[in-house]
Amino acid sequence: MLGALTIQRLLMKMSEVEASDLHIKAGSPPVLRIASVLHKIDSPALNADDTRQLLAPLIPDHLRSMLEQRGGIDFSHHEGEDHRFRCSVFHAGHGLHAAIRRVNPKVPDFDDLNLPPIYETMTSETHEGLVIVCGVTGSGKSSTLAAMIDHINHRRGVNILTVEDPIEYLFRPDHGFVSQREIGIDVPDFPTALRSAVRQDPDVLMIGEMRDRETMLAGIQAAETGHLVFATLHTADTMQAFARVLEFFDTRDHAFIRSGLSAGLRAVMAQRLIPCVKEGVQRVPATEVLLNNSTVSDKIREGEDEDLPAVINASEGEGMHDFTSSIAQLVKRDMVALKTAEKYAPNAEALRSRVRGIQVKADTLVQRVKK
């Protein structure tokens, strides 16, 4: 029995306790994620009928048949003007489950997200090409992308087109003219949206996620033809981004794709969220930044991706940095505890050395950089 438990009350509870996520599944009470830690709501475990009844008011009418056909749907939801949520509802274990992410109604800026200065610098100075923001689920990619788009919106008289699944942040046109299209509502899928995008005269194109071959190719080609393209990719770090891109294409096409990336790519920026000790900040991003220069371009074109970590380490003066360097800076700034940082760092010993001010280069990262 649900009693007084409703989806609206749970969503408001999320905002009240500043939970980032709400999980609903049969066999458990609803669960909130607060500061990276899961907390069960003080209520009885839900059964399959409970979850279906609880989630029914949340699911848009036009997506109900798709939920049954595909087994899962993603959509945005709002309670009034100030409470927005990104929802994923899906069938699992003979029941209906949901993962709901709370979205700040205010479009964040780079300072809000505690991102390093290179993010603002790169966004301000880049007018064409492809910028990829990557990270695992829940790493803050969408918020970073939104900060980049809104930064341009407030400073340039350009036509901005976003394609999102679902729309999370609502941009208010300022210097820029912004059109936001949502998959499943305004257009059936990413490839269809991108095929029509070229007829909509965008200067800036935001692709919510590059998840298939056609979307990937459209993004690369748009960047090559003078558009500024921002997109997310589901990979853990910058190095995996290239392998992920190539996975979508036959081996015989890899040289062509590498050539396109070497010319059109501007940056790959990866991030992961780490628990923060600063009051009022739950999590802070550790970042890894690869900027395309002549050396990086050559490495991409020749398929020498294994050399790129060493290039990053040798190019910190340009704004590039790896996760170890970023996490060390967070420790030095008293944003992250050292013990926590060691759990998230790729190499704990290298992190400790960085924190002590000793610049060490891991052997595996510096072997093959060519002059």
Quick one: 159 and 271 in the same domain? Answer: yes
What values do phi and psi take at 48, rounded to 5? -60, -40
Query: Domain range spanning residue 32?
Result: 7-103
Q: Is residue 51 part of a domain?
A: yes
Q: Is residue 232 part of a domain?
A: yes
Residue 177 CB-density burial (10 A; 0-12 exposed, 13-18 middle, 19+ buried) = middle
CA 338, CA 346: separation in Å to the nearest integer? 14
Q: Is residue 109 part of a domain?
A: no
Q: Is residue 108 part of a domain?
A: no
Tell me whether strands 265-275 and 129-134 are parallel, antiparallel or unpaired.
parallel
Q: What is the pTM of this model?
A: 0.86
pLDDT in tens, 161-177: 999 998 989 999 999 99
pLDDT in tens, 148-205: 999 999 999 999 999 999 898 999 999 999 999 999 889 999 999 999 998 899 999 9
Q: Is residue 2 part of a domain?
A: no
Residues 203/136/147/189 CA torsion (nearest 10 deg): 40
pLDDT of residue 365: 44
Percent of the chain topping pLDDT 90: 83
Quick one: 135 and 41 in the same domain? Answer: no
Domains of the chain: total: 2
Quick one: 63 and 127 in the same domain? Answer: no
365: left (phi over 0), alpha (psi -120 to 50) or beta: alpha
Quick one: 95 and 133 in the same domain? Answer: no
Quick one: 165 and 71 in the same domain? Answer: no
Section 276-299 average pLDDT: 96
Tell me: pLDDT of 364 over 70.
no
Q: Is residue 111 part of a domain?
A: no
Quick one: 80 and 121 in the same domain? Answer: no
CA 99, CA 74: separation in Å to the nearest integer? 10
Quick one: 66 and 137 in the same domain? Answer: no
Q: What's the CATH number where 173 sits?
A: 3.40.50.300
- Please indicate whether residue 63 or residue 82 has the higher confidence score (pLDDT): 63
Which of 103, 138, 171 corresponds to the end of one domain? 103
Quick one: 338 and 257 in the same domain? Answer: yes
Of the ranges 11-15, 72-76, 279-283, 323-327, the best mean pLDDT one? 323-327
Which of 65, 80, 103 corresponds to the end of one domain? 103
Quick one: 163 and 253 in the same domain? Answer: yes
pLDDT of residue 115: 98
Q: What's the CATH number where 99 sits?
A: 3.30.450.90
Quick one: 209 and 146 in the same domain? Answer: yes
Quick one: 66 and 127 in the same domain? Answer: no
For residue 158, give both structure tokens: 């350009």
Which of 55, 74, 103 corresponds to the end of one domain? 103
Quick one: 133 and 78 in the same domain? Answer: no
